[in-house]
């Protein structure tokens, strides 16, 4: 364990995830990259351990959270191609929504209350004004944006029901 604690980073072998792991390490945390390596790269994990796993595998999520006792999760794991989401919406709802629900349930089961969620401007749909203010009405126009908005709603509901703390960033 590092001096500031452990942080699980889903999608930690991807571009943004690996840079987040580096920043967490530099800030004194031990980042645990949790990734199925479907689009991430093992060579990108250099600032903490790599735990191979998929967010659709709740047993594996539980094993990793139980082993590391993280103080928080940073959640990047998602399918993220708008065009593909229109052609294969089930793939996006299954991975992004069901996988995130698995993650939240595993966090609850292991006493992890804090999550940073990587959302997207696609939750806003066609903007009425640019720059888009966070208060802008969210009306996604594709399954990718809709899946991310559903996760934002789950985070709100888990906060109200279970006291979980979340922040969503674009």
Q: Please give the positions annotated as active site.
A: 144
HSE toward the beta carbon, residue 132, CA cutoff 13 A: 15
Q: Give the dihedral of Cα atoms 114, 163, 78, 49; nearest 10 deg.
A: 30
pLDDT at 1 over 70: no
Whole-prediction pTM: 0.93
Tell me how far apart the alpha carbons of residues 118 and 152 are, in angstroms, rounded to a whole number. Answer: 10
Q: Which architecture, in CATH terms, is 6-169?
A: 3-Layer(aba) Sandwich (3.40)
pLDDT in tens, 19-67: 999 999 999 999 999 999 999 999 999 999 999 999 999 999 999 999 9
Tokens of 103: 């993650």
Domain boundaries, the chain: 6-169
């Amino acid at each position: 364990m590092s001096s500031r604690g452990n942080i699980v980073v889903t999608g930690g072998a991807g571009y943004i995830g690996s840079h987040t792991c580096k920043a967490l390490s530099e800030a004194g945390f031990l980042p645990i990259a949790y990734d199925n390596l479907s689009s991430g790269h093992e060579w990108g994990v250099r600032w903490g351990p790599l735990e191979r796993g998929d967010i659709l595998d709740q047993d594996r999520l539980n094993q990793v959270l139980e082993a590391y006792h993280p103080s928080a999760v940073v959640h990047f794991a998602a399918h993220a191609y708008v065009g593909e989401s229109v052609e294969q919406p089930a793939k996006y709802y299954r991975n992004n929504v069901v996988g995130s629900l698995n993650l939240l349930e595993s966090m609850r089961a292991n006493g992890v209350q804090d999550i940073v969620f990587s959302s997207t401007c696609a939750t806003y749909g066609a903007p009425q004004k640019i720059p888009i203010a966070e208060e802008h009405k969210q009306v996604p126009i594709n399954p990718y944006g809709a899946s991310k908005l559903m996760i934002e709603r789950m985070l709100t509901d888990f906060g109200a029901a279970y006291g979980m703390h979340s922040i969503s960033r674009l």
